[in-house]
Chain A
Amino acid sequence: MSAVTTAPFPVRRAPVRAVGPRVVRNPWWVRVIFMTIALSFVGFFLLLPLVAVFVEALRKGFGAYFHAFADPDARSAIRLTLTAAAIAVPANLVFGIAASWCIAKFNFAGKSILTTLIDLPFAVSPVISGLIYVLVFGAQGWLGPYLGAGDHPWLGEWINQHDITIIFAVPGIVLATIFVTFPFVARELIPLMQTQGNDEEYAALTLGANGWQTFWHVTLPNIKWGLFYGVILCNARAMGEFGAVSVVSGHIRGETNTMPLHIEILYNEYNFVAAFAISSLLAMLGIVTLILKSFIEWRHMQAKTS
Chain B
Amino acid sequence: MASPFRQRSVLPGFGLSLGFTLAYLGLIVLIPLSAAFLKIAGMSWHDFVAAVASPRVVASYRLSFGVALLAALVNAFFGFIVAWVLVRYSFPGRRIVDALVDLPFALPTAVAGIALSAIYAKNGWVGQWLDPLWARGVGKLATVVPWIDWKDWLGGTLAFDRPGIFIALTFIGLPFVVRTLQPVLAELEPELEEAAATLGANRWQTMTRVILPELFPALITGFALAFARAIGEYGSVVFIAGNQPAHSEITPLIIITKLEQYDYRGATAVAVVMLVASFLLLLAINLLQKWSRRFSAV
Closest B residue by C-beta to A198: B11
A37 and B98 CA atoms in complex are apart in Å by 15
Contacts known (A7-B105, A127-B232); A38 close to B82, Cβ less than 8 A: yes
Partner of A134, one of B6, B7, B11, B259: B259
B146 contacts partner chain A, Cβ-Cβ < 8 Å:
no
In the complex, are the beta carbons of B180 and A3 less than 8 A apart?
Answer: yes
- Give bound CA distance, A136 to B27, whole Å: 11
Chain A residues lying within 8 Å of B119, measured Cβ to Cβ, are 48-49, 52
User: What number of A residues sit within 8 Å (CB to CB) of B?
Assistant: 118
How would residues 72 to 107 of chain B score, 1 for a CB under 8 Å from any chain A CB and 0 otherwise?
A: 000000100110111111110001011111111111
CA distance A201 to B126 in the complex (A): 57
Is the CB of A1 closer than 8 A to any CB of chain B? yes
- Smallest CB-CB separation from B206: which chain A residue? A24
Determine, out of B49-57, B131-139, B155-163, B273-281, the stretch whose residues face the partner at the interface. B273-281
- Contact residues of B: prevailing secondary structure: helix
Q: Is B100 in contact with A179, judged by CB distance below 8 angstroms?
A: no
A164 at the interface (CB under 8 A from B): no
- Are the CB atoms of B28 and A39 closer together than 8 Å? no
- Asked if B179 contacts A135 (CB within 8 A), the reply is no
* List of B residues within 8 angstroms of A246 by Cβ: 234-235, 256
Which has the most chain A C-beta neighbours within 10 Å: B16, B103, B228? B103
Report whether A125 and B203 are in contact in the complex, using a CB–CB cutoff of 8 Å. no
Q: How far is the CA of A124 from the CA of B171 in the complex (A)?
A: 19
* A residues less than 8 Å from B110 (CB atoms): 240, 242, 260-261, 263-264, 279
Residues in B neighbouring A8, C-beta threshold 8 A:
179
Query: In the complex the two chains form, is B182's CB within 8 Å of A13's CB?
Result: yes
Contacts known (A26-B203, A260-B108); A132 close to B174, Cβ less than 8 A? no
Inter-chain contacts of A120 with B (CB < 8 A): 29, 33, 282
Instruction: Please pick, from A18, A31, A198, A286, the residue contacting B106 in the complex, using a CB distance under 8 A.
Output: A286
Whether the Cβ atoms of B203 and A56 lie closer than 8 Å is no
Interface contact A2-B106, CB-CB below 8 Å:
no
Secondary structure of the A contact surface, majority rule:
helix
Are B286 and A2 in touch, CB under 8 angstroms?
yes
**Contacting residues, chain A, for B217 (C-beta < 8 A):** none
Cβ-defined contact, A21 with B190, below 8 A: yes
In this complex, the interface size class of chain B, counting residues with CB under 8 Å from chain A, is 35 or more
Contacts of A94 in B (CB 8 A): 20
A132/B35 in contact, CB under 8 A: yes
Binds B, one of A60-68, A95-103, A153-161, A220-228: A95-103
- Known: A16-B186, A95-B21, A126-B252; 11 extra A-B contacts, CB below 8 A, are A2-B221, A7-B175, A24-B190, A35-B91, A42-B82, A46-B100, A49-B107, A134-B259, A142-B35, A205-B11, A289-B106
Q: Which 7 A-B pairs have the closest CB atoms?
A: A240-B108, A125-B232, A242-B235, A108-B6, A211-B12, A243-B234, A286-B106
State the A residues within 8 Å of B (CB): 1-8, 12-21, 23-24, 26-27, 30-31, 34-35, 37-39, 41-42, 44-50, 52-53, 56, 94-95, 98-99, 101-103, 105-109, 114, 116-121, 123-128, 131-136, 138, 140-142, 175, 178-179, 182, 198, 201-202, 205, 210-211, 214-215, 233, 236-237, 239-243, 246-247, 259-261, 263-264, 267, 272, 275-276, 279, 282-283, 285-287, 289-291, 293-294
A-B pairs with beta carbons under 8 Å apart, 8 shown: A2-B225, A7-B105, A13-B186, A49-B116, A108-B14, A108-B18, A236-B106, A286-B111
